[in-house]
Amino acid sequence: MDNILKKYVPERAIANCMALIQESGAHLKIVNERVTKHGDYRRMPDGRHQITVNASLNRYRFLITLIHELAHLIAFENYGRRIKPHGLEWKRTFQHLMLPFIRPEIFPSKLLPLLAKHFRNPKASSSTDAQLSIALQQYDAQQSDNLYVFELPIGSIFRVHNGKLYKKGKKRVKRFECLELHSGKLYLFQPNASVELIKD
């Protein structure tokens, strides 16, 4: 497992990750990319704990995702199955598990202040923290030509991963109202959603 993790997380994080995986009894499965999520945790019918993480993530996002899913497992074990998946117990567990990793020998120094801010009150996904998400994307191996929703002029037409087309509308608190052209329904998009601009 050490050798496998070497490919996916920063080198100075491997020993800590291994210890957490072994202590929690988690079975880690590295899977092909799923567009809708970076990872997940589930308790299998035989009682085993399975954590999956996308192989396509850069090493910093992979590490955050792995610890996020381990926090689910440990919070459920410590507080019972009735807690909210991203409630207070999970947040505290995630903060506690992540703390030893937020150091300059593991993360690039420009990510550290964003991580410190994010982990004051961690969200259900690091992707909903626009600043952190955009900073993390700079370390992706493949830089795409996609743009973020917040960069598009209002009225722009864009395509998402499943081929659907939307028209960007006004901002509502933190997210943008976007009209799905086929159905005429309104959807809310995170400002840092990565989309393909359709040029005239």
Please compute, for residue 76, the number of CA atoms within 13 A of its CA located in the half-sphere on the CB side. Answer: 17
Residue 34 vs residue 139, higher pLDDT: 139
pLDDT tens for each residue of 149-195: 888 999 999 999 889 999 999 999 888 999 999 999 999 998 888 88
pLDDT digits (tens, 9 = 90+) for 112-136: 999 999 999 998 877 778 889 889 9
